[in-house]
Amino acid sequence: MNFNIYDFTDFVNSINVWLNTVFPPAAADIAGFVIIGICFLTFITLLGLSLVYIERKVCAFFQQRLGPMRVGFWGTAQTIADIIKLIFKEPLVSKGSDKFLFNLAAFIVIIAPFMAIAAVPFAKGLHVLDFDIGLFFITAVSSIGVTGILLAGWSSNNKYSLIGAMRSGAQIVSYELSVILSLLTIIILTGSLQLSVIVESQRDGWWIFKGNIPAVIAFFIFIIASTAESNRGPFDMAEAESELTAGFHTEYSGIKFAYFFLAEYINLFIIAAVGATVFFGGWMPLHIGNFEFFNNIMDFIPPIIWFFGKIAAIIFLIMWFKWTFPRLRIDQLLTLEWKYLLPINLVNLLLMALVALSGWHL
Amino acid sequence: MTEQELITNIETVPETQEYFINMGPQHPSTHGVLRLLLTLDGEIIKKIEPHLGYIHRSIEKMCEKDSYQQIVHLTDRMDYLSCHINNEAVCLCVEKGLQLEVPERVKVIRTIISELTRLSSHQLWWGVMGMDLGAITTFLYGFRDRELITDIFEETCGARLTMNYNVPGGVMFDIHPNFQKRTKDFITYFRKKLPEYDELLTGNVIFTERTKDIGYLSKDDAISFGVTGPSGRASGFACDVRKRFPYSAYDRVQFEEIVYTEGDCFARYKARIAEMWESMKIIEQLIDNIPEGEHKAKTKAVIKLPEGEYYQRVETARGELGVYIVSDNKKSPYRVKFRSPGFSNLSALDTMARGNKIADLVATMSTLDLVIPDIDR
């Protein structure tokens, strides 16, 4: 087994070969699935735990306090303690609620990001699903989550939940358009929806630098729209704790509440991952044209660190929004999308087509 | 509003498409046990009915069996964010009844602490206002600065929130030797920090969009509902008791009465921010000129007010607080009535928020700065 931190292709292939030597072909496939599944479950759990911790610390530092400090070193074990509490809590189902849909909703909400995360390219060769409609797949499956939110609001038999769910439905359906259009702006340049091809196309520079002004505009729209799509502040209409107590998950408790919470953070990760892949070159190191020496130094940093570094930067940006801005009102939110972002986006798409045709991009 | 309109307002007739929702008594943005029965059409508010009584402690009735010194302590629990001013109102009313002239020193100390109380109340309001609109960071900023004021109170009065500093005839103890220095330090500090409040919230596009032209209250409505304090003055109703009917040391200080004419949430917000600047001005004028003398006038151990009716109004952080005492020359009053600013301000909520959305109701309620124990007493 030849492990190489810069290129996982050989490593992954050698595992595959080893599995095929140990098991018969059919069983080898199943064993492969199981290994991938276990890896992802572990990864997502760790991701959820660490993101919750990071968010609490980031928010605390914005608010001039320390955040969790008691459990473990600098409160690192706080989220683990919280998860243990949530697991042992009684899963309450309120009277008059639609029990089947109520339970199903929590699972739908968590399944959507689980599916989307499979298509994320972590590093060269470290990629579960790499097919020619990768980006389309991610945007498509990540919007399944809204079904879960709508079901949760409807089945809870609570008016606050219902208002929250309806808001969320209107919001996600609207902002989906902007997310996809802003991504399409870059797709004009890459010419492919396959994520590995998109990453590879940024070998000599990231699209945000190469793509001229339209790429920068597209990135800003992407960040705004995807924050809205993931129901995070300042667009957290669906929760709006000062108006709707907790919105669509008011009635959830215990581990099912944790699912909603976890889904929010995995969605945050997916947004950052898509943003990093499309605009900032994914795991591709920072390369500047012909500066060989500089490029070699950058290549020395492993791609996986590049990838997670970029994600961390985008996640920090989104958290910064959340802990600084007040929340919008639902009609202002929809006005922003339909009257400003969408027209700007369409014009931007035309502009990018013009840039691509005239060869103004690098 | 005419009488007929008021009557039709009371009736609740849901139309098709309309539904009710109970906001409270347990709700994050009613800030206490206020229950609002909302009639909604989608997200649009058709009608608001406040239901009170969840925190009624019958303070007025309790006053009827307590001595005049004891009544003062009860008023701490009405509007706990301007407790010093509530105490002062009762003390002033009792002193009026006794025709007792309090020392100059007491007047100045009372005024300084009243203004510090107003500052701390507005700081808390600012934090909570941001939080109601979804910017939780403001809450912590407000508390950070408020903490310094409560420290000053703790040193001088021995308590941080319900201070009980006033007694009929004066204040309980003389001020702490550090009081002047710490207050001056705080003012220098807060003069730098208050522009930070503006940066974080006032200039924010989302914030101005959320508050401008929302929760409109006209001057006529403000007067007929008796909306006082910064909320009333934001509608153009010049009602500052400190200016109109000066008490304590307010007649000798220079300050402006903040009046805006817009009458929307943003005007009420601006009025309170401007009041913080004015409060600092008042404190600065007085802090170096505290006259020497007694901290308390001599009173009898058992106070008996001469038979008659006495009324005293003061300006709390929320508006005009009136204390009405009927005495029959006994140890305790025959009847006490508090005209609390919160109750009158709440009565205008329906007029202000009708036709707006739920999110606007939260903003409107927040700019009214309701303290629920003040409404119910």
CA distances from B118 to A249, B121, B124, B126, B182 (A): 38, 5, 10, 12, 17
B130, closest residue in chain A (CA to CA): A326
B117/B80 same-domain check? yes
For the ranges A11-15, A259-263, A284-288, A296-300, the maximum mean pLDDT occurs at A259-263
Within chain B, which residues score under 50 in pLDDT? Answer: none
**Comparing C-alpha atoms, which of B311, B317, B312, B310 is closest to residue B240?**
B317
State yes or no: pLDDT of A233 exceeds 80: no
**Which residues from chain B sit within 8 angstroms of residue A323, using beta carbons?**
135-137
- Name the CA dihedral angle for B79, B84, B86, B91, rounded to a multiple of 10 degrees: 160
Question: Cα–Cα distance between B202 and B256 in angstroms, integer?
Answer: 21
User: Which residue of A65, A242, A330 is in closest CB contact with B357?
Assistant: A330
Could you tell me what percent of chain A has a pLDDT over 70? 97
CB contact under 8 A, A240 and B209: no
B145/B99 same-domain check? yes
Average pLDDT value over all residues in chain A: 83
User: Where on the phi/psi map is residue B14: left (φ > 0), alpha (ψ -120 to 50), or beta?
Assistant: beta
Q: Is the separation of the CB atoms in B136 and B200 below 8 Å?
A: no
Final residue of a structural domain among B11, B30, B51: B51
Q: What is the value of ipTM here, to two decimals?
A: 0.78
B14/B144 same-domain check? no
In a domain, B223, yes or no: no
In a domain, B251, yes or no: no
Report long-range pairs for B94-98 (Cβ below 8 Å, ≥24 apart): B94/B68, B94/B168, B94/B303, B94/B305, B94/B310, B94/B325, B95/B168, B95/B169, B96/B310, B96/B312, B97/B305, B97/B306, B97/B308, B97/B310, B97/B325, B97/B327, B98/B168, B98/B299, B98/B303, B98/B305
Q: Is the separation of the CB atoms in B207 and B137 below 8 Å?
A: no
CB contact under 8 A, A328 and B206: yes
- Say which amino acid occupies A76: T
CB contact under 8 A, B144 and A240: no
Q: Is the separation of the CB atoms in A208 and A219 below 8 Å?
A: yes
The domain tally of chain B equals: 2
**Comparing C-alpha atoms, which of B88, B105, B64 is closest to residue B168?**
B88
Residue of B231 and A244 predicted with greater confidence: B231
Which of A58, A167, A329 has the most B C-beta neighbours within 10 Å, making it the best mutation to test the interface with B? A329
Question: Tokens 């109102």 sit at which residue?
Answer: B89
Burial of B74 (0-12, 13-18, 19+ CB in 10 A): buried
Which pLDDT belongs to residue A211?
Answer: 74
Residue B37: give the domain boundaries.
Answer: 3-51
CB contact under 8 A, A326 and B200: no
Which pLDDT belongs to residue B6?
Answer: 61
Q: Is the separation of the CB atoms in B265 and B363 below 8 Å?
A: yes
Question: H or E segment at B39?
Answer: strand B35-41
Which pLDDT belongs to residue B19?
Answer: 80
A164, closest residue in chain B (CA to CA): B43
Q: Which two tokens stand for residue B61?
A: 């009735």
B368/B303 same-domain check? yes
B134/B32 same-domain check? no
A63, closest residue in chain B (CA to CA): B137
In a domain, B351, yes or no: yes
Which pLDDT belongs to residue B14?
Answer: 57
**Could you report how far apart the first and last alpha carbons of chain A are, in Å?**
39
State yes or no: pLDDT of A4 exceeds 80: no
- Our CA-based measurement puts residue A233 at a distance from the nearest CA of chain B, in whole angstroms, of 8
**Comparing C-alpha atoms, which of B248, B279, B85, B111 is closest to residue B186?**
B279
Question: Cα–Cα distance between A290 and A273 in angstroms, integer?
Answer: 27
The pTM for the full model equals 0.84
CB contact under 8 A, A245 and B27: yes
B357, closest residue in chain A (CA to CA): A329
B47/B87 same-domain check? no
B289/B336 same-domain check? yes
Whether A57 has its CB under 8 Å from any CB of chain B: the answer is: no
Which pLDDT belongs to residue A20?
Answer: 80
**Which residues from chain A sit within 8 angstroms of residue B41, using beta carbons?**
none
**Comparing C-alpha atoms, which of A96, A146, A102 is closest to residue A263?**
A146
Which pLDDT belongs to residue B15?
Answer: 62
Q: Which two tokens stand for residue B321?
A: 């607080």
Q: Is the separation of the CB atoms in A238 and A230 below 8 Å?
A: no
CB contact under 8 A, B19 and A329: no
Question: Cα–Cα distance between B250 and A21 in angstroms, integer?
Answer: 92
Question: Cα–Cα distance between A186 and A192 in angstroms, integer?
Answer: 10
B166/B127 same-domain check? yes
Tell me if the bond preceding A234 is cis, omega within 30° of 0.
yes
Read off the pLDDT band of A101 (50, 70, 90).
confident
Which pLDDT belongs to residue B9?
Answer: 58
Q: Which two tokens stand for residue A331?
A: 């009609």
Residue of B168 and A6 predicted with greater confidence: B168
Residues of B with CB under 8 A from a CB of A: 19, 21, 27-29, 43, 130-137, 139-141, 144, 200-201, 204, 206-207, 209-210, 357-360, 362
**Which residues from chain A sit within 8 angstroms of residue B29, using beta carbons?**
242-243
Which pLDDT belongs to residue A162?
Answer: 84
Find the mean pLDDT for residues A6-32: 79
**Which residues from chain B sit within 8 angstroms of residue A240, using beta carbons?**
134, 359
pLDDT digits (tens, 9 = 90+) for A71-97: 888 888 888 888 888 888 888 887 888
Could you tell me what percent of chain A has a pLDDT over 90? 2
Which pLDDT belongs to residue A63?
Answer: 85
- Our CA-based measurement puts residue B344 at a distance from the nearest CA of chain A, in whole angstroms, of 23
B311/B327 same-domain check? yes
CA distances from A124 to A7, A275, B347 (A): 5, 17, 65
In a domain, B16, yes or no: yes
B299/B173 same-domain check? yes
Question: Cα–Cα distance between B199 and B204 in angstroms, integer?
Answer: 7
State yes or no: pLDDT of A1 exceeds 60: no
Beta bridge partners of B23: B36
pLDDT digits (tens, 9 = 90+) for A114-141: 888 888 888 777 777 788 888 888 888 8
B90/B186 same-domain check? yes
**Which residues from chain B sit within 8 angstroms of residue A324, using beta carbons?**
135, 137, 200
CB contact under 8 A, B135 and A326: yes
B46/B179 same-domain check? no
User: Which residue of B207, B358, B360 is in closest CB contact with A326?
Assistant: B207
Kindly list the domain boundaries of chain A, sorted by start residue: 89-358
In a domain, B221, yes or no: no
Which pLDDT belongs to residue A160?
Answer: 84
Indicate which CATH number applies to the domain containing B104.
1.10.645.10
CB contact under 8 A, A324 and B135: yes
